[in-house]
């Protein structure tokens, strides 16, 4: 019945066209055709074509298009292998139809189309459209996960991060499909930490109150090496007040600033000479009320000097190398006077609780005079150790 209704609609349109055409005769209103003249004969039915059916597998980011240049489409049905329909829309002149629903990788679609010519002679055809079957697909995961920081916001040191689940060899092409909007505007740039991780940060820490929207529109994008973007992804973040802690190994004091004003200071202990803390800005990447710390994770295992495995409270990770700000009741006597930790920032329990209550993901701990090396850019997050001109050069399109 749908085909019949469509045909009736098109018949009405065709009739209107015919009336308009015959209304262009001479001023006397007579027909321009001689009496008894025959109507023109149509020897060929309306053509129907689907370009994607003739030119190899279709990238699923592109739509399926059905054309009838010399006719009018009356019905188009597109279904996948399971019979699920794909929605679409006709052009105003009904010479084409374009799918609107997203397509999938490695799917065979059946296209059934009907059209009529000017004589209202109907024709129908069926086609098969196959999409490319990407052997390797990469998801662009966002870090931090938006739901983790939805209630708290992020700190001024938090880079915007896309972590691809497969290596990206065509970084230039990938970066064309990465978008970011920042309110208020602040100069910033992308930087490829490695083949899977690309970060965006401003020249200086984010301004408090900044709103950030990021997108990876990579579905169907050839990322190189046979890897295609699996799907699009986006996230929104809000930057809260600027919380920055300055850990000075020369004074053994941790000085706390909120929006540039000092609000607290507490004694601490950094890494011992054998395990010095990394120097430079660190960014908190996770926090937990309690974790089990095991020195075997960095090579000092049971039976070796310096081995430990114990539960530690009020932990905020400041590098992936095992550095934390945490409660350390066992080193209260050394806090404020000497460095005795394995690289962490040790605090007395009450001070650790205050720090835990006020600092979170994206907040900054700047370590100086520790005697250790600079935090590497890949060590979650050594982004702020990279000079701005070098950071900009890490942009794939530089």
As annotated, the active-site residues are: 326, 344
- Cβ–Cβ < 8 Å for 36, 73: no
- Cβ–Cβ < 8 Å for 110, 50: no
Number of other residues whose CB lies within 10 A of the CB of residue 162: 25
- Which uninterrupted H or E stretch holds 174? helix 171-176
- Cβ–Cβ < 8 Å for 359, 245: yes
- Cβ–Cβ < 8 Å for 282, 319: yes
- Cβ–Cβ < 8 Å for 182, 197: no
215 CB-side CA count, 13 A: 10
- Measured between alpha carbons, how far is 32 from 365 in angstroms, rounded to an integer? 90
- Measured between alpha carbons, how far is 84 from 109 in angstroms, rounded to an integer? 10
- Measured between alpha carbons, how far is 238 from 322 in angstroms, rounded to an integer? 27
Q: DSSP letter string over 282-332?
A: EE--EEEEEEEEEGGGGT--TTSTT--EEEEEEEEE--TTS-EEEE-GGGT
* CA nearest neighbour of 217 among 234, 228, 232: 232
* CA nearest neighbour of 271 among 328, 337, 341, 346: 341
Q: How far apart are the first and last CA of the chain?
A: 59
Look at strands 243-248 and 364-368 and give their pairing: parallel
Residue 29, sorted as left (phi over 0), alpha (psi -120 to 50) or beta, turns out to be left
């Amino acid at each position: 019945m749908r085909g019949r209704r469509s045909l009736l609609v098109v018949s009405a349109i065709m009739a209107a066209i015919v009336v308009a055409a015959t209304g262009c005769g001479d001023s006397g209103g007579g027909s321009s055709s001689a009496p008894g003249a025959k109507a023109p004969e149509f020897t060929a039915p309306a053509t129907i074509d689907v370009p994607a059916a003739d030119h190899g597998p279709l990238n699923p980011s592109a739509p399926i298009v059905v054309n009838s240049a010399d006719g009018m489409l009356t019905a188009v049905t597109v279904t996948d292998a399971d019979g699920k329909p794909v929605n679409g829309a006709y052009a105003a002149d009904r010479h084409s139809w374009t799918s609107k629903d997203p397509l999938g990788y490695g799917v065979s679609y059946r296209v059934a189309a009907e059209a009529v010519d000017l004589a209202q002679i109907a024709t129908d055809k069926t086609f098969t459209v196959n999409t490319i079957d990407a052997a390797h697909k990469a998801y662009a995961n966002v870090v931090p996960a938006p739901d983790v920081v939805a209630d708290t916001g992020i700190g001024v040191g938090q880079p915007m991060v896309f972590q691809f689940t497969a290596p990206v060899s065509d970084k230039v092409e990938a970066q064309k499909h990465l978008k970011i909007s920042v309110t208020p505007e602040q100069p910033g740039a992308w930087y490829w930490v490695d083949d899977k991780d690309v970060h965006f940060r401003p020249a200086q820490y984010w301004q408090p109150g900044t709103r950030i929207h990021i997108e990876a529109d990579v579905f169907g994008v050839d990322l190189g090496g046979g890897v295609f973007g699996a799907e699009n992804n986006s996230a929104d973040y809000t930057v809260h007040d600027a919380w920055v802690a300055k850990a000075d190994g020369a004074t053994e004091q941790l000085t706390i600033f909120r929006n540039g004003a000092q609000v607290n200071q507490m004694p601490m202990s950094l890494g011992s000479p054998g395990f010095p803390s990394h120097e430079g800005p660190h960014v908190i990447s996770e926090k937990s009320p309690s974790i089990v710390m095991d020195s075997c994770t960095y090579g000092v295992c049971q039976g070796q000097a310096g081995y430990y495995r114990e539960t530690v409270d009020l932990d905020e990770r400041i590098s992936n190398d095992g550095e934390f700000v945490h409660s350390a009741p066992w080193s209260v006597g050394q806090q404020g006077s000497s460095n005795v930790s394995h690289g962490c920032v040790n605090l007395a329990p009450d001070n650790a609780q205050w720090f835990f209550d006020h600092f979170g993901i994206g907040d900054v701990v700047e370590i100086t005079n520790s005697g250790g090396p600079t935090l590497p850019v890949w060590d979650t997050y050594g982004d702020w150790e990279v000079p701005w001109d070098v950071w900009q050069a890490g942009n794939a399109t530089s």
